[in-house]
């Protein structure tokens, strides 16, 4: 039987906790039973009840987790003296003058 205790999901029969296969939380990694290590993030969880889960911010509202407004266009501008704009070309980021492209 698994129980939630102090942020850990504990298998009382084995004396183990539920841990992720890696330290980074990458998608499609496996979970495993392992010895508890205090403060190891891959073993710690929050339980959030569905009826208490906050609604996602809607269009035009501030998403406090990311510090940006939902579905609101923006530019990322360098703090260097030329104030160049970040631009996505292919899979690479470049610094460019403002040109009105959607990739900026």
Mean pLDDT across the chain: 89
Which whole-number Å values give the CA distances from 99 to 53, 64, 73, 102, in the listed order?
41, 29, 15, 9
- Name the residue with higher pLDDT: 16 or 97: 16
Q: How many helices and strands (H and E) does the chain possess?
A: 0, 8
HEC string for 77-100: ECCCCCCCEEEEECCEEEEECCCC
Q: How far apart are CA 98 and CA 86, in angstroms?
A: 9
Portion of the chain with pLDDT greater than 70, in percent: 99
Tens-place pLDDT, residues 36-75: 999 899 999 999 888 888 888 999 999 998 899 999 988 8
- pTM for this one? 0.53
């Amino acid at each position: 039987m698994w129980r939630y205790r102090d942020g850990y999901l504990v298998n009382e029969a084995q004396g183990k906790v539920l841990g992720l296969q890696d330290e980074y939380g990458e998608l499609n990694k496996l979970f495993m039973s392992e010895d508890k290590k205090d403060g190891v993030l891959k073993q710690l969880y929050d339980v959030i009840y569905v009826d208490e889960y906050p609604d996602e911010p809607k269009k035009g509202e501030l998403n406090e987790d990311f510090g940006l407004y939902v579905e609101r266009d923006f530019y990322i501008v360098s703090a260097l003296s030329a104030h160049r704009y970040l631009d996505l070309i292919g899979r690479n980021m470049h610094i460019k003058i403002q040109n009105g492209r959607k990739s900026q």
